[in-house]
Structure 1
Amino acid sequence: MNTKTEKSKDIKLVECPRDAMQGLQDFVPTELKVAYLNLLLQVGFDTLDFGSFVSPKAIPQMRDTEEVLGQLDISGKTKLLAIVANLKGVENAVKHNEINYLGFPFSISETFQQRNTNSSIAQSLATVEQMLEICDKKQKEAVIYLSMGFGNPYGDAWNVDIITHWTDQLAKKGAKIISVADTVGVSTPEKIKTILPPLVKEFQAIEFGLHLHSTPQQRLEKIEAAFEAGCTRMDSALRGYGGCPMAADNLTGNIATEYVIDYLTTKGLTANLNMEKWQEAMLFSTNIFH
């Protein structure tokens, strides 16, 4: 059964199995990854964040991204997004015609930028500039994540002006898609409603998304705040699995996709999803997340 509405075209749902799997201690066999991702590709999300081109020492779970990519069925409408953390990753990712988006975690926390990509904010800004140029030449789109966009656990300075400053810097470099990323679950409905609307108003050429993390108790109120604040690109993961292993020892899960689907359904905004395949993916996920 396909669920469709006229209003859904303005909402882009980004399913994030890569984010869900990357923190797992036990390596997920390649064939299991492929089977799971191919089910999710049949659901019909706008984008699938499927893997990353990063050092296997940093994220061992994603060391088979290239092998996985070669076995994915991309005959549907869903676009593929891969995460990169440096120019080597960018150069490896753009070789693959199947990949549409390259995502880069640009942190507004100096501590996390060093921890996550082993580079400073200034160095990362230079990387983003080169990445944007390469993406333009290779006909890829860059998604820049403002990591620690809602605060950080390290005591680094954080406020709305800092977010606006770095958004402006990225816009001047040519960024077209920016996703404000929570990373560690410190976002609140109040912060979401305070941060997003002014950005959308000031930087009208940029497509803004949200990548939120949350405890199960806060998911619904964060989802509601996100869409009320004007979010049109929402990251989530089936059952809310996942979290960033580079950010903290105690992972805070992603926003659960089923909560997003339920919320949009109540508002008459459900995306064009194959709900039978979604249910299959929900059942199959128990093979990966024990």
Structure 2
Amino acid sequence: MLTPIQGFPERAVLTEVGPRDGLQSEPVFVPTDQKIALIQSLIDAGLRRFEITSFVSPRAVPQMRDAAEVLAAFRGRDDLHLTALVPNLRGAEAAIEAGADAMVLFASASESHNLKNVNRSRTDSLAGFADIARLAEGTGVALQGAIATAFGCPFEGEVAVQAVVDQAKAYRDLGMNYITLGDTTGMATPANVIQRVQALRPVLDGVDLALHFHNTRGVGLACAYAGLSMGVTHYESSIGGLGGCPFVPRATGNIATEDLVYLLQESGVQSGADLDGLIDAAGLAERIIGRELPGQVMKAGPRLKTATMDSVRTANG
């Protein structure tokens, strides 16, 4: 194992969001048994934290209509941490009944995207979260917060750092001990990642800060590198690069889990994940979806993967 690059953490904690964020926008329903098989392949590759599904209206997101069944397949395992996205009180009730370890509550840092994404104002979203927090009391189900459009909005442009800080404070005050900055629009850059991490550190003492990047403009892993340089340890990614917000123009997928693990491995940062196993899981995801996925390491393999001399033609002349 390599020694971590100076300033980098020794270990990173990964949450796989492919089963939810990756699959939610797929137009063809992925059968429940195939979802379960994909998650099992990721467990076999060493992953232990999953955003496994979302309890949303089947009319709004038909792909997630089997949320309870998918969660039930892995519920109760002490070695796994299973979170579910919930948009409202009804979804929270369903997630608690299904036995989720934690519920992810999400709102956008920009008003316009929040209206597009959940058809509510940011104020209404936060008021609804207070109701969910009261519901969760005494259930043993933790609350996590996700701040969408934390790095920019496709309708408003730049998002003020203070808006992100204020939203994180509101989440903290509701008892959330894990807060994700979501690059919903693929507008994150290494510079604005560092800027936001610096601004949030003083107000999130005792709260795990996670980073969730999309690769819309090709700098998703560069943003993860910036986060590592700031000592951030929690990251969210999607196998094969599946995903992309359906309420963002020209959106593309999340950074690929296997690509992120390759970056960590080659930077001396441990993750507990097996890269070869993740490449196999990415191949399974590609077969399930039925099209080529954007992950790079699943195509090229690890850096030191060698080939035989006779597998490549020799130049003439």
Corresponding residue number in structure 1 for 2:40: 38
Distance, in Å, in 1 between the alignment partners of 2:53 and 2:145 is 16
3-state DSSP class of the match of 2:219?
Answer: helix
Residue in structure 1 matched with residue 68 of structure 2 by the alignment: 66
Equivalence map 1:81-120=2 (5 Å): 81-97=83-99, 99-120=100-121
Distance 1:209 1:238 in 2: 17
Matched to 2:281, the amino acid is A
Q: Which of structures 1 and 2 has the bigger CA Rg?
A: 2
* SS of equivalent to 2:176: coil
> Are the structure 2 counterparts of residues 131 and 232 from structure 1 closer, same or farther at C-alpha, using a change threshold of 3 Å?
farther
The equivalent of 2:272 in structure 1 is: 272
Percent of residue pairs bearing the same amino acid type: 29
C-alpha distance in structure 2 between counterparts of 1:102 and 1:73, whole Å:
14
- Asked if 2 retains the 8 angstrom alpha-carbon contact of 1:23 and 1:244, the reply is yes
The 1-side partners of 2:230 and 2:138 are apart by 34
Partner of residue 251, structure 1: 251
TM-score (norm 2): 0.83
* Residues 197, 230 of structure 1: 8 Å contact kept: no
Contact 2:183-2:212 within 8 A present in 1 as well? yes
Structure number with greater CO (CA < 8 Å, separation at least 6) is 1
Residue 115 of structure 1 aligns to a residue whose secondary structure is helix
Gaps of 5+ in 1: none
Tell me the TM-score normalised to structure 1 length. Answer: 0.90
2:262 aligned residue: 262
Deviations 1:130-186 (A, max 9, x none): 222333321111111011111101127721111112222222222221101110101
1:282/1:4 Cα in 2 relative to 1: closer, same or farther (>3 Å)? farther
- Deviation of 1:267 after TM superposition, in Å, equals 2.5
Structure 1 residue identity aligned to 2:52:
F
Q: Map residues 1-290 of structure 1 onto 2, 5 A cutoff.
A: 10-17=11-18, 18-72=20-74, 75=77, 77-97=79-99, 99-155=100-156, 158-215=159-216, 217-245=218-246, 247-275=247-275, 277-289=277-289, 290=291
CA deviations over 1:193-234 (Å, ceiling 9, x no partner): 111122123321221111111137323311211211232210
Whole-Å separation in 2 of the counterparts to 1:76 and 1:105: 26
Residue by residue over 1:33-74, the C-alpha shift from the partner in whole angstroms, topping out at 9 and shown as x without a partner, is 111112112323241111110011111111111122233376
CA shift in 2, pair 1:136/1:267, >3 Å: farther
Q: CA deviation at 1:249?
A: 4.1
Alignment check: 8 A CA contact 1:185 1:215 kept: yes
Structure 1 CA distance, aligned partners of 2:214 and 2:103?
21
Q: Partners of 2:36 and 2:264 in 1: how far apart? A: 28
Q: After TM superposition, give the deviation of residue 275 of structure 1 in Å.
A: 4.3
Letter in 1 for 2:264: L
Letter in structure 2 aligned against 1:229: M
The residue type paired with residue 163 of structure 2 is I
Q: What CA distance in whole angstroms lies between the structure 2 residues aligned with 1:215 and 1:124?
A: 27
Quote how far apart the aligned CAs of 1:19 are.
0.8
| Root-mean-square deviation (Å) | 2.4
Specify every segment of 5 or more residues in structure 2 that has no aligned partner in the other structure, as ranges: 292-317
Q: How many residues align?
A: 286
